[in-house]
Structure 1
């Protein structure tokens, strides 16, 4: 499956709830049509503790992220082969619509989520 999904985001949220690290990126702060949520709940194998859900999937899929690429204008997530059908994408490309995205905070939060995992961060 080669299915690249693209959307523009204006909002990035981070929080920790019940020891779960969560990062959400979307095109609206209250009712996003396009979004991406990455979370980590340490319970067993690290890669299995990291999940992704998007506006294209009905539920979170764990151990699905191969690589993330972050720069000041884009956030790209490559999905592992074999998990693409569950996520409904092979690659997700998010373009940030404004300069209000705190790049340093986003980078730090991604480092926390993927610390010790096999996911490549570039």
Structure 2
């Protein structure tokens, strides 16, 4: 997927979203190179995800969390995120079954339902 230009607000939101993953990287002593190798992507791609300069998909977030040994709610920030993590996992499974056309339709609906916000993940 080609990079799209993100606003400063989107980059900040993505950066905050990835913060727990960065903390888990420190705990697990894994680095961007390890994640890149395991996901078969480039190190710069991982760097962009973790810095917020590129949006990370839910399945990618979940995969990185798993590589780091974090349960989904831990990767999202803590036990209080358990319900949210379960919803992310369910969405991840649904998204994986969608055709490209269905995925684009879902993105359009999601953009209408949830315009860019900076106050939460």
TM-score by length of 1: 0.25
Q: Which has the higher helix share?
A: 2
Of Structure 1 and Structure 2, the greater strand share is in 1
TM-score normalised to structure 2 length: 0.25
